[in-house]
A = this chain, B = another copy of it.
Amino acid sequence: MEGEPTRIIVAVNESTIKGYPHASISSRGAFEWSVQKIIRSNTSGFKLLFLHVQLGFVDDSISFDDMDSIYASPEDFRRMQHRDKVRGLHLLEYFVNRCHEIGVACEAWIKKGDPKEVICREVQRVQPDLLVVGSRGLGPFQRVFVGTVSEFCVKHAECPVITIKRRADETPEDPVDD
């Protein structure tokens, strides 16, 4: 019965409050739920694939220290891209370390672009058995303005999708965060 492991893509992002290398509450929730409720003690039956999507240059989540930067040459942009990559790797390191502790096989990688579209494209390419995405659990009013990656993936990803809503007691003061 145990052939190839069940391959689960877990889409992860950084905390909007604490920034890199901290994982968002909803990413951590989605990961820990998958471990506790799906993988359980059957660590050899699963492989976790962590996908972190970074916004490209059209990045509206740019932080304040970026505001002071002056980009004067192609080299400056390359440096920024390099710095983003390093930050993303620190985020992924958290999840890879957790998997190592638990004893479950994993892979992790970074892509650039619009998260919802990149996630669906990666599902098409990698063909996992399952996609797990965290959700901030926004109300309908907030959703209109924020839009949700999870709703898009549920509709468009070519594999079964689980959305793990953040628990109410984990909600930070500003519900748009994390």
* Residues in chain A within 8 A of chain B (CB atoms): 1-2, 6, 33, 37-38, 40-42, 45, 129-130, 154, 160-165
Stoichiometry (number of copies): 2
A40 close to B42 (CB less than 8 A): yes
12 interchain pairs, CB-CB under 8 A: A1-B41, A6-B38, A6-B40, A33-B160, A37-B129, A38-B38, A40-B45, A41-B45, A130-B162, A154-B163, A160-B162, A160-B163
A130 close to B160 (CB less than 8 A): no
CB of A100, distance to nearest CB on chain B (Å): 16
Closest partner residue, chain B, to A35 (CB atom): B1
Select which of B33, B42, B130, B160 is within 8 A of A42 by beta carbon: B42
Closest partner residue, chain B, to A33 (CB atom): B160
Question: Knowing that A130-B162, A160-B165 are A-B contacts, what are 13 other residue pairs whose CB atoms are under 8 Å apart, sorted by A's residue number?
Answer: A1-B41, A2-B41, A6-B37, A6-B38, A33-B160, A37-B130, A38-B38, A41-B45, A42-B42, A160-B162, A160-B163, A161-B162, A161-B163
CB of A44, distance to nearest CB on chain B (Å): 9
Closest partner residue, chain B, to A7 (CB atom): B37
- CA distance in complex: A33, B42 (Å): 17
Closest partner residue, chain B, to A40 (CB atom): B45
> Which of A40, A129, A161 counts the most chain B CB atoms within 10 A?
A40
Closest partner residue, chain B, to A1 (CB atom): B41
A1 close to B160 (CB less than 8 A): no
